[in-house]
Structure 1
């Protein structure tokens, strides 16, 4: 990730990926330190992004559909706007930058390590293999690429299970899904058998998601932050819509650092675990080898991961905070509202109680009046939060209209 061969000019950053709850906090963080910030959107993302902290939003061709067009467009953009740093914000952008690293590293600093190391975090099967070699606990996992594999899983797995693609860099119509029984599992996977995609079927671990967030540099952790998910989307487990900062758990930190060290990682990463609060059991879920969905929480706690990464990548040094506030909560409003709709649907289907829905809703309501931070809202920059809410409401209206 270093800056060898790159002349660092005026400080200009291209955030590659238009995901408001990730892209906007990064932009605000870097803009506050004097950077010019642009956002590049790849593919056909229908979102708009308006922010006082973003100097421009540009569209690039999808690297999956037209790699040559994507490469020529991003090279032209880097040269024209004299971009110094490129920051990926999702697995698709991370994969694209790794694929074209030979053509791009001479023009700008890419905030990611070498492509082979990126593959170790994008390929969940490889991540789990490394974890097993390091004796890091993980859910029992089966690999499915054909009907014979599916039969083996149905005979041996303990339900419920979680189904997900092994390769996070490949766009698939099926992301993480939960199967309560064999019938569910077959209904989920059979339409996708033969698609040349390897699927993971994992034991479902109850509990909460825990993220160990690290700036790993020259073989050591320079900054560590930890959050716990209090609410997730989907309800059964997924991205954080409400989370809280907490003291790093030494056992999970040790697992995370040994895994990143084994890979030879350089840069930002969030190593995700799931922990059962009753038994204390911990299981590795995955590694996010780029800025993660709840990046706003550490930034609001004074841990400015994007800024630190850019400074180190430019060859400079900086003093890092030794502590951060514990117990700081943050919620993503649009995600929280979507979660409420999912809970309501579960109530209708008898999968959740009305009491569960009202308890969840009361917490959402209280967050408007307590010290819970919002992932996007800022009085100095209100447009991103308003646009994100508008996007959610527009989608909700379309779903309602479609039913009638």
Structure 2
């Protein structure tokens, strides 16, 4: 789609999704990927997919981060600045006036819309105002009392701004257990207390421009790590027009630009999909969408550079992350013989084709074990 060689700067190379974004971008010839990071020890600095790695020590001054971006853009004649995770996106949106080449910034939402999507409390207010389904929710801060009259058990309790990976999420089925939690040291930030939705998880990944969805996939998790709140390890790609209509409306009301991943849940009692949260950045299963036929990082670059493309179709496949493959092999050794599935439905080929980051990661782990 892009008719020339381009250079992309990822300014937040310390982000946990860097590897999978690089894997997706590496599928397209003619892209030089520059990675900037405040961590000089990230394994992906050794990847053959990275054209140039630059280290800048972490600073509490947000202007320093922007200045470092400006230096990299000028020094390497960067075509596109593509932040991939929340912290960098927030800082860039907050300090856009300091970016020298604002025309080279990837598609992003407004600062207010980003905060609305990223903060679960603000998101729920937005969903209610726009008549979109979501679980009944209360916000509660340390030291404030809970309105128990509006609590129907069981309830889900989670931080208003996510820690990630399912951390800090609890289910309480009766008032005494919830009260004990609220009086404990675990209650250390603003929390959401939300009706627990009986049903199943389903996700939608999107790329948007001014509220219009340019690309999407819908996937249903079928395997999780240690708990049902932990990251998904395997998914089935499906079609669901009703869910898509809700997602389309939400993205329009947010006037969203850029990528996002929506966690949703089907409510078996009300027979509707409810929006649980919006991740306003790249997500852990972005490789899965690539295997299904939608390369979100590349299409993000294409759209940001003002190239047009048709809404891509995706395949209804099963996809398994490497941790899911390991878990499957542990429970069923016959998975070792399913070589066609492993190479076509897992990202193992990237590890084999680019082994240096993995070897570096294992060597660091081994050295820590020796020293401990």
Given the two structures, how large is their TM-score scaled by the length of structure 1?
A: 0.76
**1:237 equivalent in alignment to 2:229:** yes
Aligned residue in 1 for 2:136? 140
8 Å Cα contact 2:224/2:231 also seen in 1 = yes
Name stretches of at least 5 consecutive residues in structure 2 with no aligned partner. none
Partner of 2:290: 299
Contact (CA 8 Å) 1:270, 1:290: kept in 2 or not?
yes
Quote the offset at 1:22 in angstroms.
Answer: 2.8
Q: Matched residues in 1 for 2:371 and 2:177: separation?
A: 31
Residue 366 (1) aligns with residue 335 (2): yes
The CA distance in 2 between the partners of 1:83 and 1:131, in whole Å, is: 38
Tell me whether 1:220 sits opposite 2:212 in the alignment. yes
Distance 1:327 1:163, change over 3 A: same
- Tell me which of 233, 236, 248 is aligned to 1:257: 248
Per-residue CA distance 1:206-226 (angstroms, 9 max, x = gap) = 444322122222442222211
Match of residue 271, structure 1, among 255, 262, 278: 262
State the partner residue of 1:343: none
Distance 1:147-1:119 versus aligned 2 partners, 3 A rule:
same
- The 1:384/1:29 distance shift into structure 2, 3 A limit, reads same
Cα deviation for residue 258 of structure 1 reads: 0.5
The C-alpha deviation readout for 1:129-178, integer Å capped at 9, x for no partner, is 111122222122121113333x43598351352322x235xx79x94321
* C-alpha separation in 1, matches of 2:290 and 2:16: 12
d(CA) in 1 for partners of 2:270, 2:252: 28
CA distance in 2, matches of 1:319, 1:116: 29
Distance 1:265 1:394, change over 3 A: farther
Q: Does 1:108 align with 2:100?
A: no
Contact 2:10 2:84 in 1 (8 A): yes
Cα distance in 2, alignment partners of residues 189 and 392 from structure 1: 40
Partner Cα separation in structure 2 for residue 133 and residue 34 of structure 1: 45
The answer to whether the 8 Å contact 1:23/1:39 transfers is no
Q: Distance in 2 between matches of 1:187 and 1:74?
A: 43
Q: Where do residues 190-209 of structure 1 align in structure 2 (5 Å cutoff)?
A: 190-191=184-185, 197-209=189-201
Compared with structure 1, are the counterparts of its residues 156 and 215 closer, same or farther at alpha carbon in structure 2 (3 Å cutoff)?
closer
Does residue 316 (structure 1) correspond to residue 310 (structure 2)? The answer is: no
CA root-mean-square deviation: 3.7
Q: Which residue does 2:33 correspond to in 1?
A: 37
1:92 aligned residue: 87
Aligned partners of 1:185, 1:86: CA distance in 2, in Å?
46
- Judged with a 3 Å threshold, the aligned counterparts in structure 2 of structure 1 residues 153 and 86 are, in CA distance, closer, same or farther, namely farther
Deviation at residue 73 of structure 1 after TM alignment: 2.0
TM-score (norm 2): 0.82
Structure 2 CA distance for aligned equivalents of residues 364 and 200 of structure 1: 41
Alpha-carbon deviations, 1:86-116, whole Å to 9, x = none? Answer: 2222222221221222222526323312222
Instruction: Give secondary structure in 2 for the equivalent of 1:285.
Output: strand
How many residue pairs align between the two structures? 361
Distance 2:196 2:334 in 1: 30
